[in-house]
Amino acid sequence: MVKANWKLNNAWEVIRHIADPELPFLTLEDLGVVRGITSDSSGLLYIEITPTYIGCPGMTVVQETIQSELKNKGYKSTVTRSFSPPWTTDWITEKGRQKLESAGISPPQPKRIGGTIINERNPITCVRCGSMETEKISEFGASACKALYRCLSCGEPFDHFKCI
For the segment 26-36, what is each residue's pLDDT rounded down to a tens digit? 999 999 999 99
What pLDDT does residue 6 have? 80
Q: Cα angle at 51 between 45 and 55, to 5 degrees?
A: 130
Domains in the chain: ranges and CATH: 2-81 (3.30.300.130), 93-161 (no CATH)
Residue 91 pLDDT greater than 90, yes or no:
yes
Q: Is the peptide bond before 86 cis (omega within 30 degrees of 0)?
A: no
How large is the angle between the packed helices 58-72 and 2-15, nearest 10 degrees? Answer: 130
**pTM given for the model:** 0.85
Residue 114 pLDDT greater than 70, yes or no:
no
> Could you tell me the CA-to-CA distances from 146 to 137, 150, 164 in Å, in that order?
12, 13, 11
